[in-house]
Structure 1
């Protein structure tokens, strides 16, 4: 059976209306197979070195989304509790759309045989909160709105969540006062609030999205395999950092995995790194965590820009410097950023130094032979010209 987390397009007109866009795209089979290979978003990390430093132990990440199905083997046992459902279901572990289950997997899916995918912080706990994506008794979609989002945020704060991940943005870029107030309360409580920047960036025009644009929220853009802004990722001065958001492998309800694109899946990548940092640096506050993450990001320029903020997150670099940071990132030259103190593996697709030396030797030898042939040919031409001038060809 195929499901897709489709963007909500109904105005906030009642309990069944939605004003949020689940910032992703893709369809996948629930209860399907695992993908055996390691996704590119994890190939860029040395996972063993990363988990030698931290695993996310004793950190709780609230996933405010369509719910999180813990029937997937990689998510079984990863829930802090059953969470809560604000759209009429029994609890937060129901997910009929699959969006929230994918988000949670990127954060905390545990390692299992037969797949190269796992969450960035496999010892972190997920607090599943469903604010949208349900069905009524007649099987009709029942979507959330600002009221259910606000209730979900308050619940996450009351439950003591260390990190709150929101992979949604409001339709038509609405800025509901009640949502702004709920976010402020969450930030003031000390929680690290992370939100997707949105997927309407095809024209690269700067536009604000909510809740990502609110003060204190970490707004996450999506990057591609080249560490550049994904073409759909919303640009704007509010963007704080970027993370992989293209071809993102993650868990789905009932078991299995699939791939999807979207800033929805870049945000939990940052949430996973933040969980690792909270494990490693338990005395740092939320602002210090994100400041260090921004300082160590792979940045194209010394200053942040409206496409990727301070740059693409570098998990290992963020966990490799124990000096206590300030609460705001410091500009540095691009070559100084992202210094993860890791020796890269040798690239075997290109030529080795020995192959390069052999190639150059062949070039030198070939050039020498060419000069010999040119010189020899020139000598014959001069001799023939002299003979012709003397009256003809004869024997030597």
Structure 2
């Protein structure tokens, strides 16, 4: 289904939540009604757009794409994007989206998941699987993967935890191998909740579930968001150009890894690209890596793929912390390791302790015995010099006498 209408995301942002600071990502938590699930991104972007970014965006500049893609570009891997829909009019997504597998769970929704009036889901999908296009350096991490578009939320935060659960079940039914959820709620949800059970069903089907950690981190408080905090879900925080946590990124013990989430370039409905901020756009970066790993390691379990991504992340500490989890994801390292999987990440070995320095023994500058030995040495040296002088003098006297006798 084609693109319906042009929407200004700035207006959407106002409807969702106020910006924390100029250019910062917003953090929407819904309207406060039970079960509301908010989108995790926002920014100023009009679409469709003529603009394409010619250069390679900074998150991709850090990846040796030839090395990343030496084994696979994700062909055959199906990634479900549960979001605001995925517009497939954008040329970089036209061949990436499987509209026949899509769905629309908004009230009154009748699309196949390819209507995106917000632009959020289209950006998410582009980060995962945008095809190369002449004139731009932007491309998805897994540019041969297939996107299953599932429309479950909109600019009014109409999505609920119950509709998200239904969307997850649809993704399972359509053969998703990776599910990306760039939405969250701070409402505490139990594993036995409708959404918790749906996530568990996906994990039981060996699906990698990736979710954004949320954008409520400006206050620095640790708190859990859902579905990211469910056991088995890979929760993704945002990092900046310095590989540090972006200020808006939600921190908590549930964070698995961080990924670029500041000034992120991606596709928009209709045509073109724009930049945005938020953990919404960090999660699909990781989902793209997971798609590549699905293709390269088809026999690995979802837990083993998650463990490899966490274990190979670039760390600022030897283990896990509440801000970037196990570290900032490193796509090439995740794909270039050996073929032996592990089931959980572990802290790096602590550096070996340097041996304790031995105490220095202090002594007098010269002991009496050393002084006597020094004097004896001097005496021997003086005697040797004296013997040499006497011997030399005797030789001179002898030679002089011989010369006189010869006259």
TM-score of the pair, normalised by structure 2: 0.77
- Give the whole-Å Cα distance in 2 for the aligned partners of 1:203 and 1:143: 26
Tell whether 2:308 aligns with 1:292.
yes
Candidates 17, 24, 27, aligned match of 2:41:
24
- Give the whole-Å Cα distance in 2 for the aligned partners of 1:288 and 1:109: 26
Q: Which segment is superposed worse, 172-181 or 77-86?
A: 172-181
- Give the whole-Å Cα distance in 1 for the aligned partners of 2:294 and 2:30: 36
| Corresponding position of 2:133 | 112
Tell whether 2:141 aligns with 1:126.
no
CA-to-aligned-CA distance 1:349-383 (integer Å, 9 cap, x gap): xxxxxxxxxxxxxxxxxxxxxxxxxxxxxxxxxxx
Structure 1 stretches of 4+ with a deviation exceeding 6 A read none
CA-to-aligned-CA distance 1:243-296 (integer Å, 9 cap, x gap): 100100000000110000000000000000011111111111111111111111
Preserved contact between residue 109 and residue 118 of structure 1 (Cα < 8 Å) = yes
CA-to-aligned-CA distance 1:31-59 (integer Å, 9 cap, x gap): 11211121101001011221122201110
Tell whether 2:295 aligns with 1:275.
no
Candidates 88, 94, 99, aligned match of 1:76:
94
Tell whether 2:318 aligns with 1:302.
yes
CA-to-aligned-CA distance 1:296-346 (integer Å, 9 cap, x gap): 1101111110011110010001111123121111221499xxxxxxxxxxx
- Unaligned runs of 5+ residues in structure 2 are 1-6, 17-27, 352-407
- Unaligned runs of 5+ residues in structure 1 are 135-140, 336-396
Preserved contact between residue 244 and residue 269 of structure 1 (Cα < 8 Å) = yes
Larger radius of gyration: 2
Q: 1:284 to 1:226 in 2, by over 3 A?
A: same
Preserved contact between residue 29 and residue 184 of structure 2 (Cα < 8 Å) = no
Tell whether 2:161 aligns with 1:146.
yes
- Give the whole-Å Cα distance in 2 for the aligned partners of 1:307 and 1:96: 32
Q: What SS does the aligned partner of 2:198 have?
A: helix
Tell whether 2:101 aligns with 1:85.
no
Candidates 179, 184, 187, aligned match of 1:173:
187
Quote how far apart the aligned CAs of 1:132 are.
Answer: 1.3
RMSD, matched Cα = 1.7
- Give the whole-Å Cα distance in 2 for the aligned partners of 1:144 and 1:186: 19
Tell whether 2:72 aligns with 1:54.
yes
Q: 1:101 to 1:334 in 2, by over 3 A?
A: farther
- Give the whole-Å Cα distance in 2 for the aligned partners of 1:158 and 1:202: 38
- Give the whole-Å Cα distance in 2 for the aligned partners of 1:197 and 1:142: 17
Candidates 162, 165, 173, aligned match of 1:158:
173
Preserved contact between residue 48 and residue 272 of structure 2 (Cα < 8 Å) = yes
CA-to-aligned-CA distance 1:186-225 (integer Å, 9 cap, x gap): 1111111000000011122110000000011000010000
CA-to-aligned-CA distance 1:110-130 (integer Å, 9 cap, x gap): 000111100000000000000
Quote how far apart the aligned CAs of 1:131 are.
Answer: 0.6
Q: 1:334 to 1:12 in 2, by over 3 A?
A: farther
Quote how far apart the aligned CAs of 1:173 are.
Answer: 2.6
Quote how far apart the aligned CAs of 1:81 are.
Answer: 3.2
Candidates 204, 221, 233, aligned match of 2:237:
221
Q: How many correspondences in the alignment?
A: 324
Quote how far apart the aligned CAs of 1:142 are.
Answer: 7.5
Quote how far apart the aligned CAs of 1:160 are.
Answer: 1.5
Matches for 1:1-396 after TM superposition, within 5 Å: 1-3=7-9, 4=12, 6=16, 7=28, 9-12=30-33, 19-32=36-49, 33-82=51-100, 83-87=102-106, 88-133=109-154, 143-170=158-185, 172-175=186-189, 177-333=193-349
Preserved contact between residue 73 and residue 255 of structure 1 (Cα < 8 Å) = yes
